[in-house]
Structure 1
Amino acid sequence: VNFTQSANDVIKLKKAMEAGTIKKAGNQAAAVRVVLDDGTEYPLQGKLLFSDLSVDPTSGQVSLRAELPNPQGMLLPGMFVRVRLEQAQVDGGMLLPQQAVTRSSQGDTVMVVDAEQGKVAPRPVKLGGARGNQWVVLGGLKSGEQVMVDGFQKIMMNPKAPVKPVPWTPSTAPAGATASSASAPAAAASR
């Protein structure tokens, strides 16, 4: 599978591999997964090859190649797919919808729900990378805590009104986004 990536992203990838934060599938290869055009994941894992890299000076893109087993001929020449690098699992990390996180020059925060008192309060969090439409949260939340995902406008209009946690139902995910289970459930606060 041939694909392109920005030169900057390739530099970050190489640094992550050297630091050991990305699983390797051989001496010079990172493990990859392929998501087909219909959004389903190809069942077999492949590896990223780092031979003959060159940057296209007109676009700043690097052509990369991933090698995958294809015993049933499911992958066809010219087929559109998305390539996803398999990264190391983060102990104690969790996934949150990106819309639950507020990013600013002061740092990243989420609104944590205190169901007993019916209030929400901002809390700083430490983010890792993104996975689909979710952030990997490395610190700042505990398992079982609930965060606001929707309803931020209501809080701005009436900050003292009590909140009531309700289960969050994500909208239809875009093709290629993956569903996952987070250690801490995402919740929306309603007023």
Structure 2
Amino acid sequence: MPLKPARAALIPLFAAMALLAACDNQQESTEASAAAPQVGVVTVEAQHFVMTTELPGRTRAYRVAEVRPQVSGIIQKRLFEEGSEVKAGQQLYQIDDAVYAAALQSAEASRLSAGTLADRYEVLVKDRAVSQQAYDEARAAKLQAEAALERARIDLRYTRVSAPISGQIGRSAVTEGALVSNGQAQALATIQQLDPIYVDVTQPARELLALRRALDSGRLQKAGDNAARAVLRLEDGSEYEHEGKLEFSEVSVDEGTGSVTLRAVFPNPDRILLPGMFVHAQLVAGARSDAILVPQQGVTRNPRGQAVAMVVNDQNQVEQRIIQTDRTVGNRWLVSDGLKVGDRLITEGLHMVQPGMQVEPVPAANVDDATGTAATSGQEG
């Protein structure tokens, strides 16, 4: 049966309303999607962190001894190979000893004469055949002769120039036939002990003060046996295979640079380290059991230069935090204030968000892993 005209006229109206409702739903869905963009987040976790400081430094010989003559004379022989290892007490040079041998014989004769006279007067003084003064003078002459004899023996022994320490000897400054003298300014050779070897590095005094304050306040724990541990990175970028330990720091601050000197000692059995080499020393400064390390992608700077982080709260809204960064640890920041465990840090999509905006958090894809796990050791950035 044909529809009434009024009812037939309503059909297009219902179709138009349905189409309009569908368009409104699609627009609302599009607006909701635009109002809640997806952002990549990393959940902040506490980690055990061993704090290290990397400082440039120079190697220094453990001991240095300059070989000098203690008697005068002509060098007869050189008894070592330049650049070789020598032992303490090993003979290095022979000085002509003819004069000193003759002086020793003369001293022995004087000692014999003075001793004989003193012994004779000792008998005669008992019988009052000589005065007590004469006997005392004879005894004094005997003692003087004995001292002269000992000095002659020492001078003769000093014609054998020996190594004062064990180590590597450098080039010889004299050759056979050269005249040397006692007390001369020029050293005959220099011996350096290279195993172990020192590494001297400098650290700004302000960083040393900050480290001590952190230890005193308990924010930073002492690293126990690792507190004196040190490792080296050589000038070519390779890591030195032997581990060293921290020896001491200077008790005064350099007025020109405002820094203190730290000294570490390293074993050097293969003589890889030579005096004067430039190295980087990593010194263990302490440990934190609840350190917060976050990816650098999640930290920006505001116009004031302050470090800023964006986090997603429980209502999936963006919050802006001013944070305190202490140092870099690889590709992460060590944060001391502004973030806490459980915070969801935005590392992906920062350019799309503003504080207070509603977002949809998803695991970040622009970091090493979704949890932001970092290495357990770090160094000064």
TM over 0.5: yes
Which letter does structure 2 place at the counterpart of 1:59?
T
Provide structure 1 residue ranges, at least 5 long, that are not aligned to the other structure. Answer: 171-178, 183-191
Is residue 261 of structure 2 the alignment partner of residue 66 of structure 1? Answer: no
Partner SS for 1:54:
coil
Work out which of the residue numbers 309, 323, 329 in structure 2 matches 1:110: 309
Q: 2:231 aligns with which of 26, 30, 33?
A: 33
Structure 1 partner of 2:200: 2
Larger radius of gyration between Structure 1 and Structure 2: 2
In structure 2, what is the equivalent of residue 180 of structure 1? 375
* Distance change in 2, residues 1:126/1:67 (3 Å): same
Given residue 96 of structure 1, which amino acid in structure 2 is its aligned partner?
V
Q: Residue 151 of structure 1: CA displacement? A: 4.2
Given that 2:232 and 2:280 are in contact with CA atoms closer than 8 Å, whether structure 1 keeps it comes out as: yes
What CA deviation, in whole Å up to 9, does each residue of 1:49-99 have, x standing for no partner? Answer: 225443221221222211122334443433333222324432233422345
Secondary structure of the equivalent of 1:90?
A: strand
Superposition TM-score, scaled by structure 1 size: 0.58
Q: 1:168 to 1:44 in 2, by over 3 A?
A: farther
| Larger CA deviation: 31-40 vs 153-162 | 153-162
Secondary structure of 2:280's counterpart equals: strand
- Identity value in percent: 34
Structure 2 distance, partners of 1:43, 1:102, is 38
After superposition, the Cα gap between the structure-2 partners of 1:181 and 1:51, relative to the gap in structure 1 and judged at 3 Å, is: closer
CA distance in 1 between partners of 2:294 and 2:236 (Å): 24
Correspondent of 1:93 among 275, 291, 308: 291
SS at match of 1:48: strand
8 A Cα contact 1:22 1:86, kept in partner: no
Change (3 A) 1:23 1:89: closer
Partner of 2:244: 46
User: How many angstroms does 1:117 deviate by?
Assistant: 7.9
Provide the rounded CA distance (Å) in 1 between the counterparts of 2:208 and 2:355. Answer: 44
Is there any run of 5+ residues in structure 2 with no aligned partner, and where? Answer: 1-198, 369-373
Counterpart of 1:180, as a letter, is A
After TM superposition, the structure 1 = structure 2 runs for residues 68-87 of structure 1, keeping only pairs within 5 Å, are: 68-87=266-285
Name the structure with the higher helix share: 2
RMSD: 4.3
Cα 1:34–1:91, aligned 2, differ >3 Å: closer, same or farther?
same
Secondary structure in structure 2 of the residue aligned to 1:91: strand
